[in-house]
Amino acid sequence: MSASLLWVVATLVIIGAEMLLGSIFLLAVGAGTLMGAATAFLGGEASLQVAVAGVVAVIGVLIARRYRRAHRQDLVGSNDLDAGQSVTVTEVAADGSATVRHRGANWRATLEGGAPLTPGSYTIKETRGTMLVLAPQPNPTDKQGE
Residue 119 gets which letter from DSSP?
Answer: S
What single letter denotes the amino acid at residue 28?
A
pTM comes to 0.51
Q: What are the angstrom distances between the C-alpha of 93 and each of 51, 100, 134?
A: 63, 11, 15
Domains belonging to the chain, first-starting first, are 3-76 (no CATH), 86-136 (2.40.50.140)
Please give the pLDDT value at position 9: 95
Please give the pLDDT value at position 141: 63
CB 40, CB 60: distance < 8 Å: no
- Mean pLDDT for back-to-back runs of 10 residues, the chain (146 residues): 92 92 89 96 95 96 89 59 82 83 85 83 85 80 54
* Residue 145, phi-psi category: left (phi > 0), alpha (psi -120 to 50), beta (remainder): left
Please give the pLDDT value at position 36: 96
